[in-house]
């Protein structure tokens, strides 16, 4: 449990580290945190698209004289610069026209504040944040000092103390120097170009402003001999696109556009176009990004290594656990096998015993350790297998399980063989041997009891059948006994006819009793050839009176020449039970039919009735033992179960078709047509 808790903690720490590094990387690459990166990477919403559509165009105001950022080219009169090209790219990204309104810097800020323009690029500061709403930074801008060489070397804030400093009205440098409390004389101009002219004219000692703009004018004026640009920058500040305060929807739209342009690396491309290879004006540096990627890679590798170690450890623990479980299961299985009351052992192709349970050890009176690797041929008590080696070989060859009941000495053994396969080949056989002698005896008794019960149901009808010939014998015996001697002499043919009636009646009673004895005989395994038509006739004769009492008509549709080679006693038992069930199914009378057809060597024997039928819910339980729909004391529930088993014993199949209110038909398929 402690290990799991430690693992969870480490995973959480690593996940937090990865998130922090990912956030840091996104901030240094795109200028926004991870959450906003996900937010602004999404497509424009319907509301944002409707906003742009409703405005038609956006108005952009900025400084007209801050080259190379934004300025009016004196030769062509065109408004151009890095910022202008960037805003044009943003216009394409947003899919809306952006109109440029160039002016002096202080006027550009006032127009944005008054709502005359929609956008302007400015350096962000807390003071300006009170008046304007800012989008995310588009680049970083450095402030520098441009000074006259004859005024001495001016490089830092300290060097500006006591100097005359020229500033552009409204420029961020003004706020910065006031914030730093620089004690100097300030001279204000409307633009950077005007500031530099004042500097050259001696109206000031230094100009503080945007480094790219100062460098541009320094190169243009060819004044390197008179002016000097500081080696160090005074400040580095984010430049953002600003809107009037409260226009947050436009800010969200602009942020999405900025992020898309950052992903396309637009600002660096424009920098190279306008300024050549210089220090990047976009925030961050290649070295810092490389460091971040290195840190991220290290954390990622550490995470992978930790996860690998964790998974490896878990796998080891799981393998150990599974091994322990397998050992326990093996021991448990061995215990189960030990306590199974019948013999189980494993044979290889050479018929050698590879393993065995206690029951075989007891049966052979030999220690199991001494049984291993010994052939079954060495043990006379296993002769039931050696004498049936074809069955064993068949399982090895075909890979199919086999089960047989084999008489051996004074017992009946149920021998089952199960193949053990490896890579599609049978390598061993599991042998189970169970003594089913008592089961067979109990089964025979059960069959006999069921047969007696079925015959008992016909007893009333047979009693009437026997009473009729007995009545005739009694009547004609009385006539003979009371006849006058002279009548006997005078009418010998009369007396002879009396005796014939008595003889026929005795024969009839004898036939009924013989049929009863025949049908009560316990079936064995012998197979004989018999006439199915004759068997059906005998069965209908045996139950004739019962059918008459129940109002049942019988029909026999079996070819008179149909001969079957099968177990006659089993067939009698099958048909008696089916006929008995048919009688019970027709409490109000009906028609009982025994029919047969053949196909090749298969005979299809059908017993059908026009009775009540069987419901669907009872069909699936028909052949289960002790299942009955009859009332109390009217059925054992064993009839159809025994029929099913007798049919199986004969190698046949039994099926049933039924319909409520119309009747039922049982069909037995048997191989054995002669």
Residue where a domain stops, chosen among 377, 408, 435: 435
Q: Residue 563 has what pLDDT? A: 93
Same domain, 58 and 149: yes
Nearest in space to 542 (alpha carbons), one of 483, 618, 466, 599: 466
Same domain, 451 and 392: no
Instruction: Please state, in angstroms and rounded to a whole number, the distance separating the CA atoms of residues 506 and 225.
Output: 159
Same domain, 167 and 122: yes
Same domain, 356 and 388: yes
User: For position 272, which CATH number holds?
Assistant: 3.40.190.10
Specify the 3-state DSSP secondary structure of 181: coil
Which helix (H) or strand (E) segment is 71 a member of? strand 70-72
User: For position 429, which CATH number holds?
Assistant: 3.30.450.20
Structure tokens at 511: 């036939």
* Within-domain flag for 290: no
Give Dmax (Cα) for the chain. 190
In contact, 607 and 666? CB cutoff 8 Å: yes
* Within-domain flag for 289: no
* Within-domain flag for 388: yes
Residue where a domain stops, chosen among 435, 464, 485: 435
Q: How far is residue 276 from each of residues 67, 219, 281, 284, measured CA to CA in Å?
A: 14, 14, 12, 18
Q: Residue 669 has what pLDDT? A: 94
Q: How far is residue 248 from each of residues 106, 133, 608, measured CA to CA in Å?
A: 24, 7, 90
User: For position 603, which CATH number holds?
Assistant: 3.30.565.10
Specify the 3-state DSSP secondary structure of 78: coil
Quickly list DSSP for 97-130.
EEEEEEE-HHHHHHHHHHTS-SBEEEE--HHHHT
Q: How far is residue 603 from each of residues 29, 184, 405, 569, measured CA to CA in Å?
A: 89, 127, 26, 17
Instruction: Please state, in angstroms and rounded to a whole number, the distance separating the CA atoms of residues 74 and 143.
Output: 25
* Within-domain flag for 310: yes
Q: Residue 277 has what pLDDT? A: 47
Beta bridge partners of 557: 595
Same domain, 315 and 391: no
Tokens 């800020």 belong to 109
Residues 6+ apart with CB under 8 A from 128: 122, 175, 242
Give the domain extent around 422: 341-435
Same domain, 314 and 221: no
Backbone angles phi, psi at 654, to 5 degrees: -130, 140
Same domain, 412 and 302: no
| Region of residue 188 (phi > 0: left; psi between -120 and 50: alpha; otherwise: beta) | beta
Q: Residue 430 has what pLDDT? A: 92
* Within-domain flag for 288: no
Same domain, 516 and 598: yes
Beta bridge partners of 658: 664
Instruction: Please state, in angstroms and rounded to a whole number, the distance separating the CA atoms of residues 391 and 405.
Output: 12
Same domain, 506 and 653: yes
Other Cβ atoms within 10 Å of 202 Cβ, number: 11
In contact, 343 and 417? CB cutoff 8 Å: no
Give the end-to-end CA distance of the chain in Å, rounded to a whole number: 77
Residue where a domain stops, chosen among 272, 306, 339: 339
* Within-domain flag for 7: yes
Q: Which residues of the chain have pLDDT under 70?
A: 1-11, 13-15, 17-18, 22-23, 25, 31, 221-224, 276-293, 295-296, 443-469, 472, 476, 478-479, 482-495, 498, 508-525, 626, 630-637
In contact, 187 and 167? CB cutoff 8 Å: yes
Same domain, 315 and 238: no
* Within-domain flag for 291: no
Same domain, 326 and 423: no
Domains identified in the chain, total number: 4
Backbone angles phi, psi at 297, to 5 degrees: -65, -40
Same domain, 454 and 379: no
In contact, 105 and 195? CB cutoff 8 Å: no
* Within-domain flag for 301: yes
pTM (2 d.p.): 0.45
């Amino acid at each position: 449990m402690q290990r799991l808790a430690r693992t969870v903690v480490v995973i959480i720490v690593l996940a937090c580290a990865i998130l922090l590094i990912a956030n840091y990387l996104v901030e240094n690459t795109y200028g926004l945190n991870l959450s906003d990166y996900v937010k602004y990477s999404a497509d424009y919403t319907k509301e944002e698209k409707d906003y742009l559509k409703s405005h038609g165009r956006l108005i952009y105001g900025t400084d007209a004289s801050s080259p190379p950022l934004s300025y009016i080219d004196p030769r062509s009169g065109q408004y151009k610069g890095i910022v202008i090209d960037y805003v044009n790219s943003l216009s394409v990204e947003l899919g809306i026209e952006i109109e440029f309104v160039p002016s002096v810097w202080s006027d550009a800020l006032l127009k944005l504040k008054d709502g005359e323009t929609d956008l302007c690029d400015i350096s962000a500061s807390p003071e300006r944040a009170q008046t304007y709403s800012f989008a995310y930074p588009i680049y970083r801008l450095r402030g520098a000092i441009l000074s006259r060489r004859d005024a001495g070397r001016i490089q830092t804030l300290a060097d500006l103390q006591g100097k005359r400093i020229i500033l552009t009205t409204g420029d961020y440098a003004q706020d910065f120097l006031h914030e730093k409390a620089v004690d100097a004389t300030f001279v204000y101009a409307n633009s950077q170009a005007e500031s530099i002219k004042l500097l050259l004219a001696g109206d000031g000692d230094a100009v503080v402003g945007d480094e790219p703009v100062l460098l541009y004018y320094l190169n243009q004026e060819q004044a390197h001999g008179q002016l000097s640009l500081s080696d160090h920058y005074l400040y580095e500040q984010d430049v953002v696109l600003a809107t009037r305060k409260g226009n947050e929807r436009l800010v969200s739209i602009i942020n999405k556009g900025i992020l898309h342009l950052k992903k396309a690396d637009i600002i660096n491309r424009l920098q190279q176009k306008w300024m050549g290879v210089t220090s990047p004006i976009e925030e961050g540096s290649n070295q810092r990004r490389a460091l971040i990627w290195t840190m991220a890679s290290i954390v990622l590798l550490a995470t992978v290594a930790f996860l690998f170690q964790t998974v490896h450890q878990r796998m080891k623990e799981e393998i150990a656990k599974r091994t322990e479980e397998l050992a326990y299961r093996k021991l448990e299985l061995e215990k189960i096998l030990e306590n199974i009351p019948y013999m189980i052992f494993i044979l290889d192709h050479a018929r050698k015993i590879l393993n065995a349970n206690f029951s075989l050890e007891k049966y052979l009176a030999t220690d199991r350790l001494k049984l291993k690797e010994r052939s079954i041929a060495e043990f006379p008590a296993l002769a039931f297998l050696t004498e049936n080696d074809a069955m064993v070989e068949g399982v090895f060859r075909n890979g199919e399980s086999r089960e047989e009941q084999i008489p051996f000495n004074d017992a009946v053994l149920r021998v089952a063989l199960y193949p053990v396969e490896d890579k599609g080949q049978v390598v061993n056989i599991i042998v189970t041997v169970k003594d089913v002698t008592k089961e067979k005896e109990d089964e025979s008794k059960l069959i006999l009891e069921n047969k007696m019960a079925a015959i008992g149901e016909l007893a009333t009808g047979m009693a009437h059948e026997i009473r009729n010939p007995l009545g005739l014998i009694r009547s004609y015996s009385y006539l003979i006994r009371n006849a006058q001697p002279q009548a006997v002499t005078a009418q010998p043919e009369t007396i002879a006819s009396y005796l014939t009636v008595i003889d026929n009646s005795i024969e009839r009673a004898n036939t009924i009793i013989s049929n009863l004895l025949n049908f009560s005989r316990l079936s064995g395994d012998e197979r004989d050839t018999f006439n199915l038509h004759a068997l059906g006739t005998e069965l209908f004769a045996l139950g004739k009176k019962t059918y008459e009492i129940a109002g049942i008509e019988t029909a026999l549709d079996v070819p008179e020449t149909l001969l079957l080679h099968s177990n006659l006693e089993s067939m009698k038992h099958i048909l008696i039970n089916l006929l008995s069930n048919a009688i019970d199914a027709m409490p109000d009378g009906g028609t009982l039919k025994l029919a047969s057809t053949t196909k090749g060597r298969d005979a299809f024997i059908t017993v059908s009735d026009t009775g009540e039928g069987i419901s669907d819910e009872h069909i699936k339980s028909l052949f289960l033992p002790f299942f009955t729909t009859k009332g109390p004391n009217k059925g054992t529930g064993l009839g159809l179960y025994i029929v099913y088993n007798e049919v199986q014993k004969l190698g046949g199949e039994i099926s049933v078709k039924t319909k409520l209110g119309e009747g039922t038909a049982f069909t037995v398929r048997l191989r054995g047509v002669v």
